[in-house]
């Protein structure tokens, strides 16, 4: 009886959040350990399906770096890096598209469908969901000289999101699952960072929430304590303190871009925690870092 009461109290706690966000668009970047562990994968599929059933409009953007690396290795396609970023030639791009739009995307779709959802896998090239341009990487030259532009191949950044098509899908009973592959103005295919795509989609759709699933608790201060809430104005101070570094910087830059372009709030959660999405959306305490305008 005690266990039943606990479950009932959880449902009651969720009720005001379900009411508040009825019909809201939630963009979720799915990546990290949550894409590898079997229990976490199933939990993610259940969470997204539940969100759809209670009236949310989830849009999923997924990564797939480890899977790409695995296939490149098996095909003996050597990678080289420019300033820490993989150079994407045509052979690498073919593998990226095959893995993201094929294997990874379809596995996520199958998982969601297996627990009662109705997911559809999409490449960013479909209906030109993601228009993109070649990403420009620069390196500072010696004093007095202009920055040097570096060629990183078919790596892109979003320039336009087809919100009409995505809104049409979200208004139906379909859950869009998007691979971060974009199309250029001349029809060329670009490999795009999944965080960047998720941020661009959230901003363009004016989503209620952008949620990035990661392999850390959230944003930590210099004493390694979780920062439950921060504003984008706090980002530069956190960088100066050394609290934010490495891979967290592009994630926070993505959050900043999303909220400046119209997303109401962004969240960085630990995807290793089962049902992290539901804990953040439906409980009073949440479980990660909220990034506000």
pLDDT value at 233 more than 90: no
Residue 46 main-chain phi, psi, to 5 deg: -65, -45
Q: Report the pLDDT value the prediction gives residue 184, as an integer from 0 to 100.
A: 95
Render pLDDT for 252-269 as a digit per residue (tens, 0 to 9).
888 999 999 999 999 999
pLDDT value at 152 more than 60: yes
pLDDT > 90: what percent of the chain? 54
| Least-confidence region, from 99-108, 193-202, 247-256 | 247-256
Give the residue among 201, 178, 50 at the shortest CA–CA distance from 109.
178
Mean pLDDT (the chain) is: 89
Q: What is the mean pLDDT of residues 78-105?
A: 88
Q: Residues 69-95, buried b or exposed e (16+ Cβ, 10 A)?
A: eeebeeeeeeeeeeeeebebeeebbeb
pLDDT > 70: what percent of the chain? 94
pLDDT value at 53 more than 60: yes
Question: Which CATH code is given to the segment(s) 22-120+162-178+192-219+231-287?
Answer: 3.40.1160.10
Q: What is the mean pLDDT of residues 239-247?
A: 79
Render pLDDT for 128-145 as a digit per residue (tens, 0 to 9).
999 999 998 777 666 656
Q: Report the pLDDT value the prediction gives residue 4, as an integer from 0 to 100.
A: 56
- Do 45 and 114 touch, CB atoms closer than 8 A? yes
Render pLDDT for 161-213 as a digit per residue (tens, 0 to 9).
999 999 999 999 999 999 999 999 999 999 999 999 999 999 999 999 999 99
DSSP structure string for 147-187: PEEE--BSBEEEEEE-HHHHHHHHHTT-EEEEESEEE-TTS
| Least-confidence region, from 5-19, 82-96, 104-118, 273-287 | 5-19
Q: Report the pLDDT value the prediction gives residue 35, as an integer from 0 to 100.
A: 86
Q: What is the pTM of this model?
A: 0.92
What is the Cα–Cα distance from 279 to 116, expressed in whole angstroms?
Answer: 21
Q: Report the pLDDT value the prediction gives residue 11, as an integer from 0 to 100.
A: 77
- Residue 208 CA neighbour count, 13 Å, CB half: 13
Q: What is the mean pLDDT of residues 145-162?
A: 86
pLDDT value at 246 more than 80: no
């Amino acid at each position: 009886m005690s266990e039943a009461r606990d479950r009932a109290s959880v449902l009651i706690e969720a009720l005001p959040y379900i009411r508040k966000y009825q019909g809201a668009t939630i963009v979720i970047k799915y990546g990290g350990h949550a894409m590898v562990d079997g229990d976490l994968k199933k939990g993610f599929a259940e969470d997204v399906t539940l969100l759809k059933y209670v009236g949310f409009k989830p849009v999923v953007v997924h990564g797939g770096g480890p899977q790409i690396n695995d296939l490149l290795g098996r095909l003996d396609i050597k990678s080289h890096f420019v300033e820490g970023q993989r150079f994407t030639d045509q052979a690498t791009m073919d593998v990226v598209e095959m893995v993201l739009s094929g294997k990874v995307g379809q596995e996520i779709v199958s998982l969601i469908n297996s627990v009662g959802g109705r997911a559809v896998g999409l490449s960013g090239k479909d209906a030109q969901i993601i228009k993109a341009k070649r990403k420009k990487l620069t390196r500072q030259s010696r004093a007095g000289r202009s920055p040097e532009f570096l060629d990183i191949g078919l790596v892109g950044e979003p320039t336009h999101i087809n919100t009409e098509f995505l809104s049409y899908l979200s208004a139906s009973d379909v859950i869009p699952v998007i691979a971060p592959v974009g199309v250029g103005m001349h029809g060329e295919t670009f490999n795009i960072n999944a965080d960047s795509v998720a941020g661009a989609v959230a901003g363009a759709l004016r989503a209620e929430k952008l949620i990035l699933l990661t392999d850390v608790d959230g944003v930590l201060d210099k004493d390694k304590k979780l920062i439950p809430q921060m504003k984008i104005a706090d980002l530069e101070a956190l960088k100066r303190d050394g609290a934010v570094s490495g891979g967290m910087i592009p994630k926070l830059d993505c959050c900043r871009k999303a909220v400046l372009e119209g997303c109401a709030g962004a969240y960085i959660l630990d995807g290793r925690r089962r049902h992290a999405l539901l804990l953040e959306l439906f409980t009073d305490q949440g479980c990660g870092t909220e990034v506000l305008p």
